[in-house]
Amino acid sequence: MATSEARIEDYRHGKVPRQLRERQLLELAEALFAERGYAGASMEELARRAGVTKPVVYELFGSKDGLFEACVDRSVKRLAADIATAVRAESEPEARLRAGGLAFIRFAAGNRVAWDLMSMGGRFAEQARSVRSSQAALISELMAEMAAEGTDQHELEVAAHAVNAAYEGVAHWMWAHPEVPIEQVADWIAELLIPGLRRFT
């Protein structure tokens, strides 16, 4: 990392550059949302924790929804990057799926805060849907590699969504069973899904 990370403490007399303030608020907001839930988190408190007042937050994010979406966006990007990296490390389709799945599970296990953020449905159903779709698109791509030419596009999409959801659902299960190693879990899911996916080849 060449450019040293700027810190808030360097700006003693208030007056922190917008970009830095934004990063600071995003980090605090992520923690706050995870800690209190969407409804329970108050803009006032976020501002207080950052040592500023409400209008500052509103100028940067527009609204509470805007702030939340920004947080989710951040997490989604991190997750997508993690998966992409893991997938790129392998070359065989099946190995890529296993690697992607493991990365997914790992992320869920190691970033519960971010994870909880992303799986908040409710009024953010639309956003959640688009997250899932892009996730599924990623999987579709993986599957398209190994799919025969004549495969029905809809069926492929459905399978991709199913695969994505399966991992997602199991991630929830994991929280209740920390004693089970995640590699084991990832393996079980892969073992469950791969046989059914083979018919696409």
Binding interface with DNA (CB under 7 A): 13-18, 21, 41-44, 51-56, 58-59, 62-65
Instruction: Return d(Cα 52, Cα 61) in angstroms, integer.
Output: 14
Q: Which is closer to DNA, CB of 48 or CB of 78?
A: 48
CB of 132 to DNA, least distance (A): 25
DSSP per-residue string spanning 92-143: SHHHHHHHHHHHHHHHHHH-HHHHHHHT--GGGHHHHHHHHHHHHHHHHHHH
Instruction: Return d(Cα 78, Cα 83) in angstroms, integer.
Output: 9
CB of 158 to a second copy, least distance (A): 5
Considering only the stretches 7-15, 17-25, 85-93, 116-124, report the one whose residues sit in contact with a second copy under the rule CB under 8 A.
Answer: 116-124
Instruction: Return d(Cα 139, Cα 99) in angstroms, integer.
Output: 12
Q: Which is closer to DNA, CB of 6 or CB of 158?
A: 6
Residues 6 or more apart in contact with residue 57 via CB below 8 angstroms? 25, 43, 46, 47, 50, 67
> How many residues line the site for a second copy (CB under 8 A)?
46
**Stretch 30-49 residues interacting with a second copy (CB under 8 A):** 37-40
- Among a second copy, DNA, none, partner that 52 touches (CB below 5 to 8 angstroms by kind): DNA
Q: How far separated are the first and last CA of the chain, in Å rounded? A: 43
Which string of x and - marks every residue 120-159 that binds a second copy (by CB under 8 A)? Answer: xxxx-x---x--x---x-----------------xx-xxx
Residue 166 in contact with a second copy, rule: CB under 8 A: yes
Helical residues (DSSP H) of the chain, grouped into ranges? 18-40, 43-50, 54-61, 64-88, 93-110, 112-118, 125-146, 153-176, 182-197
CB of 62 to DNA, least distance (A): 7
Residues that bind a second copy (CB under 8 A): 37-40, 116, 119-123, 125, 129, 132, 136, 154-155, 157-159, 161-170, 172-173, 176-177, 180, 185, 188-189, 191-199
